[in-house]
């Protein structure tokens, strides 16, 4: 549900952190550097003390939850220790950004988090210096929320590295993702559907583990997918897009796996604000009408370790 802005991510400038040599030397934003940022985030979320783990930080670091200014020290999800049961991360070496999708199944308070860390530095600092964190937070009563079901399906998908000769360019990947997002507003758009393709919308899954699985199962009409912010990783064919969805401008993350220019997987994480299930029937009632939301995929192998 909705999390209100509770203060700036201040107090960060009081921590003196040395800038690593690779940033001082002006070497670009490497994959290894971004993997380090992802590991720092995992440690921060596990410990509940971001300021002790995410380094170096700029003089001022903005921390947002659902596009509202929040705090890494008081009230934000990252300020409370969380056991992450599963995550997957992507690395945009051009934009110097990391996307991390995290699933927390703690029965006291489960979450699904879509986090973007930008580490491009700023005045007086080089690549690797964190300037902002954006988190889309989904929990109880958000769109089709069930963290255990999301985990069940997500861990059965293969987002491994694509052989270099078969990788799409950044432009091709973004074009495929944009085609899908544009479809919500313009039904004439041609989307490069792959076959098979599976869509994980909140916790509902369209795939059945069959070769003819399809993501072309319909989307709402006349919905603007605005203010798109991208994290693109050609190595795994991924595009993560944080955006504002529809007339209510709901905080949303759409994440794509694209193979040979065609969409293979889609994930959506949507915060519903103060509306239970974004104004639709509550999830239990929807399940009564749509029992196929949760297909049995026990026959599909689990990815034994998160792809980081």
pLDDT for res 16: 31
Closest by alpha carbon to 59, among 8, 7, 127, 130? 130
Query: What average pLDDT does range 146-151 have in this prediction?
Result: 98
| pLDDT tens, residue by residue, 31-45 | 999 999 999 999 999
CA separation for the pair 85, 272 (Å, rounded): 23
- What six digits make up the tokens of 69? 């200014």
| pLDDT tens, residue by residue, 281-292 | 999 999 999 989
pLDDT for res 179: 98
Report how many helices (DSSP H) and strands (DSSP E) the chain contains, helices first: 6, 12
Would the pTM count as exceeding 0.85? yes
Q: Band of the pLDDT at 127, cuts 50, 70, 90?
A: confident
Give the chain's domains with CATH numbers: 12-138 (3.10.450.50), 147-293 (3.10.450.50)
- Convert 61-93 to b/e letters by CB count within 10 Å (16 or more is b): bbbbbbbeebbbbebbbbbeebebbbbbbbbbb
């Amino acid at each position: 549900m909705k999390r209100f802005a509770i203060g700036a991510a201040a107090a960060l400038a009081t921590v003196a952190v040395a800038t690593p040599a690779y940033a001082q030397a002006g070497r670009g934003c490497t994959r290894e550097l971004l993997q380090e940022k992802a590991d720092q985030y995992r440690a921060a979320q596990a410990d509940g003390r971001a300021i002790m783990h995410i380094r170096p930080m700029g003089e001022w670091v903005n921390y947002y939850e659902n596009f509202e200014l929040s705090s890494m020290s008081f009230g934000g999800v990252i300020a409370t220790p969380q056991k992450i049961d599963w995550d997957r991360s992507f690395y945009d070496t051009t934009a110097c950004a990391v996307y991390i999708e995290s699933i927390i199944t703690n029965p006291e308070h489960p979450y699904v988090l879509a986090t973007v860390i930008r580490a491009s530095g700023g005045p007086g600092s080089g690549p690797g210096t964190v300037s902002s964190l954006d988190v889309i937070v989904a929990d109880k009563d958000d769109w089709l929320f069930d963290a255990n079901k999301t985990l069940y399906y997500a861990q059965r998908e293969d987002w491994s590295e694509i052989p270099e000769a078969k990788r799409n360019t950044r432009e091709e990947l973004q074009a495929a993702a944009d085609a899908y997002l544009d479809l919500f507003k313009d039904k004439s758009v041609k989307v490069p559907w792959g076959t098979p393709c599976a869509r994980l919308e909140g916790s509902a899954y369209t795939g059945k583990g069959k070769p003819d699985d399809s993501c072309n199962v319909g989307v709402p009409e006349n919905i603007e997918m605005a203010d798109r912010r991208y994290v693109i990783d050609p190595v795994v064919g991924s595009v993560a897009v944080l955006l504002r969805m529809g007339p209510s401008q709901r905080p949303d993350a759409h994440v794509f796996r694209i193979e040979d220019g065609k969409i293979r997987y889609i994930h959506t994480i949507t915060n519903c604000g103060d509306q239970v299930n974004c104004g639709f029937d509550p999830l239990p009632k929807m399940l009564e009408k749509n029992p196929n939301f949760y297909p049995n995929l026990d026959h599909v192998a689990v990815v034994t370790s998160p792809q980081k």
